[in-house]
Amino acid sequence: MSNTDRILIDRVLNAGILNARDAIAAALTAARQEEREAGQQMADAAEMLWVVLANVSGSDWQQQSEEWQRAAARWRDNYHVATRARTTGGETKP
Protein backbone atom coordinates (compact mmCIF):
# COMPACT_ATOMS: atom_id res chain seq x y z
CA MET A 1 0.00 0.00 0.00
CA SER A 2 1.38 3.36 -0.98
CA ASN A 3 1.77 6.29 1.36
CA THR A 4 -0.80 8.18 -0.72
CA ASP A 5 -3.29 5.33 -0.20
CA ARG A 6 -2.69 5.43 3.55
CA ILE A 7 -3.23 9.17 3.63
CA LEU A 8 -6.44 8.82 1.62
CA ILE A 9 -7.72 6.03 3.90
CA ASP A 10 -6.84 8.08 6.98
CA ARG A 11 -8.71 11.06 5.59
CA VAL A 12 -11.78 8.97 4.81
CA LEU A 13 -11.73 7.34 8.25
CA ASN A 14 -11.20 10.67 10.00
CA ALA A 15 -14.05 12.22 8.04
CA GLY A 16 -16.31 9.33 9.09
CA ILE A 17 -15.26 9.73 12.72
CA LEU A 18 -15.85 13.47 12.62
CA ASN A 19 -19.26 12.95 11.05
CA ALA A 20 -20.08 10.37 13.72
CA ARG A 21 -18.91 12.78 16.44
CA ASP A 22 -21.00 15.55 14.94
CA ALA A 23 -24.01 13.23 14.76
CA ILE A 24 -23.54 12.14 18.38
CA ALA A 25 -23.07 15.72 19.53
CA ALA A 26 -26.20 16.81 17.67
CA ALA A 27 -28.21 13.92 19.13
CA LEU A 28 -27.02 14.71 22.66
CA THR A 29 -27.82 18.38 22.21
CA ALA A 30 -31.32 17.54 20.97
CA ALA A 31 -31.88 15.11 23.85
CA ARG A 32 -30.78 17.71 26.41
CA GLN A 33 -33.15 20.26 24.86
CA GLU A 34 -36.02 17.75 25.02
CA GLU A 35 -35.20 17.08 28.69
CA ARG A 36 -35.19 20.82 29.45
CA GLU A 37 -38.52 21.25 27.68
CA ALA A 38 -40.04 18.25 29.46
CA GLY A 39 -38.75 19.56 32.77
CA GLN A 40 -40.30 22.96 32.09
CA GLN A 41 -43.60 21.32 31.17
CA MET A 42 -43.55 19.38 34.45
CA ALA A 43 -42.75 22.56 36.39
CA ASP A 44 -45.61 24.37 34.64
CA ALA A 45 -48.01 21.52 35.44
CA ALA A 46 -46.93 21.46 39.09
CA GLU A 47 -47.46 25.22 39.33
CA MET A 48 -50.91 24.97 37.77
CA LEU A 49 -51.89 22.22 40.19
CA TRP A 50 -50.70 24.36 43.11
CA VAL A 51 -52.76 27.32 41.83
CA VAL A 52 -55.85 25.10 41.65
CA LEU A 53 -55.28 23.58 45.11
CA ALA A 54 -54.53 26.94 46.70
CA ASN A 55 -57.83 28.34 45.48
CA VAL A 56 -60.14 25.45 46.36
CA SER A 57 -63.16 26.69 48.34
CA GLY A 58 -62.13 30.28 47.71
CA SER A 59 -58.81 29.57 49.46
CA ASP A 60 -60.68 28.48 52.61
CA TRP A 61 -59.34 24.97 53.09
CA GLN A 62 -61.30 24.64 56.34
CA GLN A 63 -64.30 23.81 54.15
CA GLN A 64 -62.53 20.61 53.04
CA SER A 65 -62.03 17.38 54.96
CA GLU A 66 -59.05 17.03 57.26
CA GLU A 67 -57.66 14.33 54.96
CA TRP A 68 -57.90 16.70 51.99
CA GLN A 69 -56.27 19.51 53.98
CA ARG A 70 -53.35 17.24 54.98
CA ALA A 71 -52.86 16.07 51.39
CA ALA A 72 -53.02 19.64 50.07
CA ALA A 73 -50.58 20.83 52.74
CA ARG A 74 -48.14 18.04 51.79
CA TRP A 75 -48.40 19.05 48.14
CA ARG A 76 -47.90 22.73 49.06
CA ASP A 77 -44.85 21.97 51.18
CA ASN A 78 -43.26 19.69 48.58
CA TYR A 79 -44.06 22.15 45.79
CA HIS A 80 -42.37 25.01 47.63
CA VAL A 81 -39.31 22.91 48.49
CA ALA A 82 -38.97 21.84 44.84
CA THR A 83 -39.49 25.40 43.61
CA ARG A 84 -36.89 26.70 46.04
CA ALA A 85 -34.44 23.99 44.94
CA ARG A 86 -35.02 24.78 41.27
CA THR A 87 -34.60 28.53 41.71
CA THR A 88 -31.62 28.41 44.09
CA GLY A 89 -29.59 25.77 42.31
CA GLY A 90 -30.43 22.90 44.65
CA GLU A 91 -30.63 24.69 48.01
CA THR A 92 -33.79 23.54 49.80
CA LYS A 93 -33.50 25.23 53.20
CA PRO A 94 -36.23 27.79 53.98
Residues 59 and 31 reside in one and the same domain: no
How confident is the model at residue 49, as a pLDDT?
A: 93
Domain carrying residue 70: 55-94
The count of structural domains within the chain is: 2
- Indicate whether 3 belongs to any domain: yes
Q: For residue 64, what is the DSSP state? A: S
Tens-level pLDDT at each residue, the chain (94 residues): 677 666 666 766 676 666 777 777 778 888 888 899 998 999 899 999 999 999 999 999 999 999 999 999 999 999 999 888 877 766 655 5
- Indicate whether 7 belongs to any domain: yes
Q: Tell me the average pLDDT of the chain.
A: 83
Residues 31 and 62 reside in one and the same domain: no
Between CA 23 and CA 37 the distance in angstroms is 21
- Indicate whether 47 belongs to any domain: no
- Indicate whether 48 belongs to any domain: no
Judge contact between 43 and 86, C-beta under 8 A: yes
